Structure 1
Amino acid sequence: MKDRIQFNGVPLENYSIYYNIDKDRSVRCYSRKQIRALYPKNNFKIVGEYPPKKESFADIYINNIKLPIGEYGKMSPLIYSPKGYIECEGEKNSYVVLKKNLLPLRIVITLICLAIILFGIYYASNLDDSKTQDSIIDIDPNAIDNDPNSQVNTSGNGIQIPGFKVLNIAADNKNAQVGFSNPQGNPCYFVVSLILEDGTELYKSKMIPPGKGIYNILLEKTLPKGEYNGILKYETYGVDGLNPMNGANLKLTVAVK
């Protein structure tokens, strides 16, 4: 049986880091950064590594601590990484490398990176879906929360569609105050058009969500004083899938004063 080799570690003053052996013991040593600075051409020798993979062939003594040393290069670099270096007496530029098991840390980092990637994919997918839906659902920017004090008649027992007998607007003025609302609870968006009996379209909204309404509009043209037969056209689109639903054409009088 071969005699075990004994190395004596040199307790240098310029060791910059501590290597924790266990919760009660640690040794000072060179860091990887120091070794690279001392030996830019890698002209130093590694005589062994701690911890040994299986069996050790030597021991290193430093500060009354004995560490078993294994043959250098036996442990996988994917799992174990150099943490520090202890200089050995008796042979110039010779070191024992102290390694750390980084597998748990690398697993955690990999899982975090994977989680970030999956979150990014999920977020991008939902962002794309949101953008796609927003581009399809052209919500009218003038739609605001319905006025709780407004009193409008509704027609039908399913989709609630407000109706008007008379709509008053000012003569020779494109600005008009209206009450084109989509009652809360409706399963659809509204697109509301104000059309004269002769087919002249005075106004058409974009999509009005349930619980929202439009109360100020800009007409396509002005009208002189008088009374005009008109139609308030409601197009309806389901909130899920935007499928067309039952609409309505309601007759009304456009009173221009």
Structure 2
Amino acid sequence: MKLNIISEDNYSAVYTHEKSGFTTKYYTKKQMAALYPSHTYKVVGAIGAVKGEKEAGKERLSLEDGKGHNLPVTRQFAITPATAIIGYVRVKDNVFAAIVKNVAFKRLAIAAAGIALLTFGAWCAVNWYDWFPAKIEIDPNAVVTQTKETPVNEDITIPGYTVITADRDGRTKWSLQNPEGNPCYFQVTLKLADSNRRLYQSGLMPTGSTIENPKLEATLDPGTYDVLIQYNTYELEGAHRPMNSASTVSQLIIQ
């Protein structure tokens, strides 16, 4: 049984079957969604990249274009990972034949492009600091006392401070250090342990430098406070990438 294509003025795409020369205009899936938002139409079968029917006893259907080319219409069809419905052509009122196309190459190309993009992104992430080195802002209060003969250690030495004292105006009696021989810059942050409120943050401290009596950013009432001292470290050379971080526990006494 031959099905004839009902011509529509608003078909917006063209499908051509290369082997048979069958050509027809059709509604795209977007158009069908606009024409039938509730999906109130029937699909009699599909043409294109679908396997022919093997069911016995059923009348075979075919679809004919305006130039006498025919394609078989498969009543029961399934969409595979390599195929997709690209649109529909009307054969009766509210009855359509689906047009199925092999999209394996397109999907493979998209997947390959996605992998290439992810690979490029990872490559950029790895090399970002080499291309755009972090701006080094040395703390102006950091005084370097390291001698040139001091060798650079492989391990990072973290100083321990059990008690830090300060007056009500936030002036501390604290000798903050990046020990000689450390293979990194220090950035030191002092925070209240219970609320994570920042009390002080240094700029970058070169290895072998000291900041004497830094002033707190916040004013606290007299008393004893549990605090955390956080050390962020950065490479001395090259891109100055972030390295390890560490925290120590101390007490801050406001007198």
TM-score (norm 2): 0.46
Computing the radius of gyration over CA atoms, which structure comes out larger, 1 or 2? Answer: 1
Compare relative contact order (CA 8 Å, sep 6+) and give the higher one, 1 or 2: 2
